[in-house]
Amino acid sequence: MATLETLPFDNRYIHLPEDFYARVPPRPLPRPRLVAVNPDAAALLGLGPEQLARPEFAEYFSGARPLPGADPIAAVYAGHQFGNWVPQLGDGRALLLGEVVGPDGRRWDLHLKGAGQTPFSRRGDGRAVLRSVIREYLCSEAMHGLGVPTTRALCIIGGDEPVVRERVEPGAMMVRLAPSHVRFGTFQVFAARKRVDHLRLLADHVIAHHYPELAGTADAHPALLAAIARRTGNLVADWQANGFVHGVLNSDNMSALGLTIDYGPFAFIDHYRHDYVRNHTDHTGFYAYNRQPQIGRFNVYLLATAMLPLMTPEAAQAGLDAYQPAFDAAHAARLRAKLGLATAQPDDAELAGGLFELMDQGGADFSAFFRALAGYDGAGPVPAACTTLLEPGAHGLAAAWFARYGERLRREKANPAERRRAMDRVNPLYVLRTHLLQAAIDAAEAGDHAEIGRLHDLSRDPFTERPGMAAYAAPPARDQAMPLLSCSS
């Protein structure tokens, strides 16, 4: 096992030309202290519980004490934000501390958010607030518990520095882990600068370290684009199947490894609307729930355009075309599993579409309704657990849909008990709902961090019922509407 002083760093991104980054030391918060730490993520680095309990932990992972072997940099990238081109972005409040080789040989970027100003801060203060890092810390681990590709969260560090956002808030830092933080926007910035040499270096770096099966092949760059497109299609299918709204699907927030990254004004849908929006700046619904599949393809199109100097137009089109079949197949498979259907049938899409229409008209809680479906025996009336989640005006539509659903289940001839167990393994009981997150944030700002640990523990296995945790499985009341969230969330 490693110690804080002997983490095995092997920093590879810094071997790229200096145009790819700026070397920046972190600016620690005054009096850094540990707010939360994730032993699961720490184990990926080879850090055991005794290292997490050391008082030096908060100093090392806040930048107050340099980590031996780290070489902090802020990466440059560009991107399309709400469809508008921004020629230079970059790590404006985060630093890549370095890359650690875990005990199993896997490599992890250590990324410190809230580390202070960088050359890419664009007049920002380079800080993060406690509210936002709690949200990302908990949601990245909740997504991991759901089986959705994501960055991981190592720790939250608090400190004595107020930060001004919509109000004055306590500043905080967070360390996240990922195999890579290369984004679609990393390709875009060098395409815009017409640095084909840097584009090629970047693509070769990503292939060598993250898609090694493509290395040495004649069509490695087109194959890389297609592989990223497929991973992105699968990722968006995961989001849709879990009722997850990212909120800010700018191309600079899209991972070249198909990971969920940069959690901001996200939400898991409570009372369902197909055009659900949680970002208060998204006045047109550009990144609404029902548009996420389209935006996923749009971002792959932007990546294909950026990578065009490395391949023929036909190869770029083929790479782009890999997105939609991947999304369609993954989404259909996930919906079949959530509905307890073991085989594919021609009318499955129509059946699923009818369910979403029912939930939309009835305002059903997304996660609770899917979980309640497992109690339907395929022959009786609409289960009471489902009826109570619907507005009264939708009960007639529910009766018609459940009649179709029951007929479909009877065609399967599946054992009801086995089907229920299978459905409960993919439809979570515990979801990181906005009101639960807000309660944890309110408590933490008052100095009580216990709720962060409680929500994290539930997210590790969100499918299995826990004694005494019924309140965490319940949807919010219909009058418990949460306000829209800002990009600082």
Which residues are catalytically annotated? 252
Beta bridge mates, 33: 158
Does residue 177 come out as left (phi exceeding 0), alpha (psi in the -120 to 50 range) or beta? Answer: beta
Q: Cα separation of 453 and 436, whole Å?
A: 12
Q: Give the H or E element holding residue 221.
A: helix 220-241
Q: Give counts: helices (H), strands (E), the chain.
A: 18, 12
Beta bridge mates, 173: 157
Sign of CA dihedral 440, 59, 126, 299: negative
Which among 165, 162, 156, 135 has a CA at the least distance from the CA of 438? 135
Q: Are 372 and 389 in contact (CB under 8 A)?
A: yes
DSSP states of 291-318 as a string? GHHHHHHHHHHHHHHHHGGGS-HHHHHH
Neighbour tally for 269: CB within 10 Å: 22
- Which single residue is written with the structure tokens 């490693």? 2
* Three-point CA angle 391, 376, 240, nearest 5°: 65
Neighbour tally for 123: CB within 10 Å: 6
Q: Cα separation of 85 and 412, whole Å?
A: 49
* Three-point CA angle 194, 198, 202, nearest 5°: 130
Beta bridge mates, 268: 244
- Which single residue is written with the structure tokens 């960055």? 151
E-assigned strand segments in 152-272: 152-164, 168-178, 244-245, 267-268
Per-position b or e across 87-97, b if 16+ CB within 10 A of its CB: eebbbbbbbbb
DSSP states of 324-383 as a string? HHHHHHHHHHHHHHHHT--S--TTHHHHHHHHHHHHHHHT-BHHHHHHHHTT--SSSS--
Helix, strand or coil, per DSSP, at residue 204: helix
Per-position b or e across 221-245, b if 16+ CB within 10 A of its CB: bbbbbbbbbbbbbbbbbbbbbbbbb
Q: Are 273 and 396 in contact (CB under 8 A)?
A: no
